[in-house]
Each structure stands twice: as structure tokens, then as C-alpha cells.
Chain A
């Protein structure tokens, strides 16, 4: 059961908030990922995860309970038929909220809420403290590798250009004999960059 929300309701009142959350849930289940304000995303998370729990149960009573909230048969069908099998192994945490930037116009903080549909890769159970630390150490390295790859793709041209220009400048300043030595070096750096 989600904890009750503190503070004022979204929209004009409790009924308006229920409608807004239902509509946002429908959008989330049909599109798998939606972009809203941070506040709305945080309020949507418990509602959507509870609906996914109904979908995982999968019987007629659960379907009727989901329909009583969503009021959209297509979305409920998608939820029960497509989303439920993908999150069957996952024990909670079906959504992911990523903070984006600030909206142009009213400067509202935006966030993206998406369904976590990737297959679960479970952490090994707490057998030894040393083993528990090993996957933690491995995970950031993998993340860094991915990041570096992305960065390299983006800035590859910059590297080549900058390296080429730098080498040219040094060559101009130095003597002709050293030019011959610099040329293979320049090629080597370019190859490294690639």
C-alpha cells in the first residue's frame, strides 16, 4: 500500500488528482516512458507500481480493480498482456525516474518516468562480504566503459582535428629533420584516437 501523499492534491482537488494520475498511468503503460514534472512523476510512481502488482496477479478480480482506476480497456490489456510477463521476475521497483532539465517557460523541473522492462540480473546473495563488494566494483567500471564509448563516438572528430593541428604547429616551429620524425608520431596519435 502506498503511503498517503502529504501536502495539497495535484490539480484542483482529490477527484482531479485521481483523474490526472489515472490518465498519466494510461500514458505510461501505452508509451512505456513519459516526460512530466518531477512532482507528478513522484506521485505517479506508487499508483503505477500498484497497478503493475495487480497485473502480475493477473486474475479477473485484479483486472477489474485495475479497470476501476484506469477506465481504459486498451491500457489495461497492454498492462496485463505485455507488461506483466516482462516484470514477472522483478520484485518491485517497476518504474525509473530520471531528472531532466528545467522547462522553458515556467522553469519547472522535468523528469522522465519509464517502466523498467529489462530482464532482472540478480545480485548474488550475501554469501561473503568480499564477494558482495566485487560486483559493486565491477558495475561502475562497466558504466564508465559505456560512457567512454559514447563520449568517444561524439568527440572523435574533435580529437583528430585537435591532434592534427597541434602536430602541424610543432612541426612548423621545429627543423625539417624533426618533421620526418613527427609525421609517424602524428599518425600514431591519430590511430590511438580512433
Chain B
């Protein structure tokens, strides 16, 4: 089995990890009738919540598609 010959330096470890970035998710903004703003993933069913924030069901294109 191949094994590393030398210890990897702190600098090269850090240079590798510096390239390891998170990307921001694309989100769709939707505003309710009373101005409550919510964000959801595009082309995916959205979780509908009641006023207390309890998830009720999943909705897509105005139709209930699945339970949470």
C-alpha cells in the first residue's frame, strides 16, 4: 500500500482547505398577502406552516402534494 513519505506541512494543509468553500443556495422569495416573506428552493415542494411555525403539509403550484 502506498504511504506518504513526508509529513504534510501546515501551509499546504491550509492552502488545500482554503479552496473548500460553501456556495449559496438559489432561493425563491415569496410574499404572502399580509407581507410575510418566505424563501424556498426553486422547483421543489414548499413546506406550508401555520402562524405558530408548525409545519402542516408540502405544497407545489398551489396543490397539496405530500405530508411533512
Contacts and interface: CB of A to CB of B under 8 A. Distances in A.
A193 B62 contact: no
Interface of A: 33, 35, 98-101, 112, 114, 143-144, 146-148, 150-152, 154-159, 161-162, 193
A146 B62 contact: yes
Contacts of B16: none
Contacts of A162: 34
Given A154-B50, A154-B56, A155-B51, A98 B65 contact: yes
A155 B36 contact: yes
Contacts of B50: 154-155, 157
> From DSSP, what is the main secondary structure of chain A's interface residues?
helix
Contacts of A156: 51
Interface residues of B, number: 22
A155 to B, nearest CB: 6
11 contacts: A35-B66, A99-B60, A101-B41, A114-B65, A144-B62, A148-B33, A154-B50, A155-B50, A156-B51, A157-B51, A193-B34
Interface of B: 32-34, 36, 41, 43-45, 47-51, 56, 58-63, 65-66
Contacts of A98: 45, 60, 65-66
Contacts of A101: 41, 44-45, 47, 58
Nearest to B40: A101
A100 B58 contact: yes
Contact of A155 (B33, B41, B63): B33
Given A100-B58, A155-B34, A162-B34, A150 B48 contact: yes
